[in-house]
Amino acid sequence: MKIYTKTGDTGTTALFGGSRVKKYNLRIESYGNVDELNSYIGLIKDQNINISIKESLLKIQNELFTLGAMLATPPEKETLKNGKERLNIPKIDESSILFLENEIDKMDSELPQMTHFILPGGHQTVSFCHIARCICRRAERLSVELNDQENINNDILKYLNRLSDYLFVLARKLSKDLEIEEIKWIPKKN
């Protein structure tokens, strides 16, 4: 299989099922942002962090590939003419969301109560988490817009929403592990 196919040279790309759309299509933007998010999660995973967090991040990366494949499949192409699913892979579902919630709860139980908003930064690894969180929110916004135009699996929206929460709590957990002081946002009165 060659990396280059030349089929996208005119500004279109294929979705699962074979239909071609412009590369700026909202569906492409949605899963393109998920792909960008996945790359940043890989960057976080490459840092000097706890092995159990690395394992969780690897699971999340695999689930993001699944989520991207789900987004790349238009509703009318989800099933073949014989009624079988075109995308024959495990889907993002409630168990995927529960995994994130359990990880959030586990990390959160080790953290001090949050009393203020926290400014991103303090350490490069923590900053990578905040960048990934922002990309996740962008992917979520685009997926919500896509869902307004043509229905997508609601678990995709839930997963992205929960993943951004996970990334925020991960940033806090890594701040604690790295002994970095969180900088609280305290608005200055004039």
pLDDT per residue over 15-32, tens digit each? Answer: 676 677 666 788 889 999
Please choose, from the candidates 73, 69, 3, the residue with its C-alpha nearest in 3D space to the C-alpha of residue 35. 69
25-51 average pLDDT score: 94
Q: What is the CA radius of gyration of the chain?
A: 19
- Does domain 26-74+120-182 fall under CATH 1.20.1200.10? My reply is yes
What does pLDDT average to over the chain? Answer: 89
Q: Which two tokens stand for residue 7?
A: 């089929």
Which position has the token pair 């307004």? 148
The SS3 call for residue 100 is: helix
pLDDT, tens only, 117-153: 888 998 999 999 999 999 999 999 999 999 999 989 9
